[in-house]
Amino acid sequence: MGKYRNIYFIGIGGIGMSAIARYFKFKGYNVSGYDRTPSELTAELEKEGIPVHYEDNTEYIPADASDTLVIYTPAIPHDMGELVHVREHGYKVLKRSMVLGEITDGQRCLAVAGTHGKTTTSTLLAHIFDSSGEGCSAFLGGISKNTGSNLMTSGNDVVVAEADEFDRSFLQLHPEIAVITAMDADHLDIYSDLTHVKEAFRAFASQVSGTVIKKYGLEIGPEDTGARIMTYSFDDIRADFHAERIRKDGCGYFTFDLIHPGGTVADCRTGIPGWVNVENGIAASAIALTYGLAPEKIREALGTFSGVRRRFDIHYNRPGHAYIDDYAHHPAEIAAAISSIRDIFPGRKLTAVFQPHLYTRTRDFAAEFAAALDQADRLILLDIYPAREEPIPGVTSEIIFDKVRSAEKALIRKEELMDTLEKEDIDIIATFGAGNIDRFIGPVTGMMERRYGK
């Protein structure tokens, strides 16, 4: 990368793209870029001195092709004007995943892969290294609430990377230690079926040089990788890393003993509620212990972790009323989030607001989404957020809505959401989705504070 002075990003507002943009800014490069719409994240980049524009206009691209590296996200349409321009005018153009692979090459890469759970797990892992004093650089798929960023930097050669399976991006990484949290069917526009999803994860495992730590039960064996294989679980005692003596307090926070091949880390307490975060904590701790961090440092870090924005993010919690926002956009993620909410708030009425993400995912998992959302007491379903996709005839939120068995359900446009909520007496409300449903976090929180007290 050293031969370039300018780094230009097409799709700079993406969570993975912005982390790399921040990295190159930290390294002293001239960084700028395009994104389709302004967001809280692009506003933060601009405050950090990274110019961002929001129109497809080649005049913003640095003119000297020989001195400019262009990085793009595969979410950008192939015929987007700026992308076509740089390809036709001699610029070096690389996918985000290739750049992350080059950055981590030659360093001690600790990677977290999986169709769900990887963002919280990788962010917690980075927090463990940071708070232990060991330090690490980290490229994360969410904003850490401890640091307020999706990038961490350090002077050592340890890099924590969230390994994204979309577009087979994680095959650019060659980790020393890797966790695999799940291998569910997803991104079927890329993989076509679950068999090919699993094949990609096995290919990722084959690139790990030291240790693969898989969730207990995942179909990865010695024939798939030359690395040592270990396992983790929430509470299955057959796993190498698991929890025992699990205790939950009245607010949903867990204390447990972490069992590992070297012994027991007693009385670990999670800094964020929900059983699913115990499981994420065990996965992150498994990498840290395998690396060689001190158990007592890991215990302390688990308790001081504040979580990740939009990952089981509790924005309002007063007696009788609560609001949780979560990035969940896959049926398994929604089911796990609702299970955790039920565990924390037993016997309460849950209203789920879901914005489906992608036409293909909606088409491929309509029945599974309906089954997961049926676990709520009331469903408010919004229109599909298309992201990178064009509409597919016959694919709308209605194909989920029709399969939901609950009588308490409504299908509305997102512009109607606040008016709809204002008319309801809310006990527990949860918003789910990977699109722009996060724009409602402030309004919903404000409504809850106004109606039920700050």
Q: What is the pLDDT of residue 454?
A: 87
Whether residue 108 is predicted with pLDDT greater than 90 in this model: the reply is: yes
**Pairing of the two strands 254-260 and 211-215:** unpaired
Digit-coded pLDDT (tens) for 408-429:
999 999 999 999 999 999 999 9
Average pLDDT along the chain: 96
Q: What distance, in Å, lies between the first and last C-alpha atoms of the chain?
A: 49
pLDDT above 80 for 1? no
Asked if 350 and 383 touch (Cβ cutoff 8 Å), the reply is no
User: What average pLDDT does the segment 329-333 reach?
Assistant: 94
Per-residue DSSP letters for 293-357?
A: --HHHHHHHHHH---BTTBSEEEEEETTEEEEEE---SHHHHHHHHHHHHHHSTT--EEEEE--B
For residue range 141-182, list pLDDT tens digits in order.
999 999 999 999 999 999 999 999 988 999 999 999 999 999
Q: List, as one string, the DSSP characters of 380-448.
A: EEPPPB-TTPPP-TT-STHHHHTT---SSEEE--GGGHHHHHHTS--SEEEEE-SSSGGGGHHHHHHHH
Report d(CA 401, CA 391) in Å as an integer.
18
Instruction: Check: CB of residue 306 under 8 Å from CB of residue 146.
Output: yes
Range from 45-49, 226-230, 293-297, 384-388 carrying the lowest mean pLDDT: 384-388
d(CA 329, CA 268): 30
List Cα–Cα distances, 245 to 108, 151, 254, 269, 343, in angstroms.
Answer: 34, 35, 10, 12, 17
DSSP string of 205-249, one letter each residue = HHT-SSEEEEETT-S--TTT-SSEEEEE-SS-TTSSBEEEEEEE-
Annotate 25-61 with b (16+ C-beta within 10 A) or e (fewer). Answer: beeebbbbbbbeeebebbebbeeeebebbeebeeeeb
Residues 6 or more apart from 79 whose CB is under 8 A from it?
Answer: none
pLDDT at 187: 82
pLDDT at 333: 93
Mean pLDDT of 350-361: 97
Q: How far from 351 is each of 193, 403, 434, 440, CA to CA, in Å?
A: 32, 17, 18, 15
DSSP class of residue 2 equals: T
Cβ-proximal residues to 124 (8 Å cutoff; 6+ apart), any chain: 280, 281, 284, 301, 302, 305
Which pLDDT score, from 0 to 100, does residue 345 have?
93
Q: How far is 64 from 257, CA to CA, in rounded Å? A: 57
Domains and CATH numbers, the chain: 6-95 (3.40.50.720), 105-304 (3.40.1190.10), 313-452 (3.90.190.20)
Structure confidence at residue 167 (pLDDT) = 86
Residue 185 has pLDDT above 90, yes or no: no
Q: 3-state DSSP helix/strand/coil percent for the chain, to nearest 5?
A: 35, 25, 40
Count the neighbouring beta carbons within 10 Å of the beta carbon of residue 306. 13
Flag whether pLDDT at 352 surpasses 80: yes
Tens digits of per-residue pLDDT, 298-314?
999 999 999 999 999 99
Residue 166 identity: F
Six-digit token string for 90: 């001699």
Q: Which of 285, 303, 368, 373 is nearest to 337 (CA)?
A: 373
- Name the strand (E) or helix (H) holding 263: strand 263-269
What is the pLDDT at residue 214?
98
Both tokens of residue 111? 């990677």
- How buried is 235 (Cβ within 10 angstroms: 0-12 exposed, 13-18 middle, 19+ buried)? middle
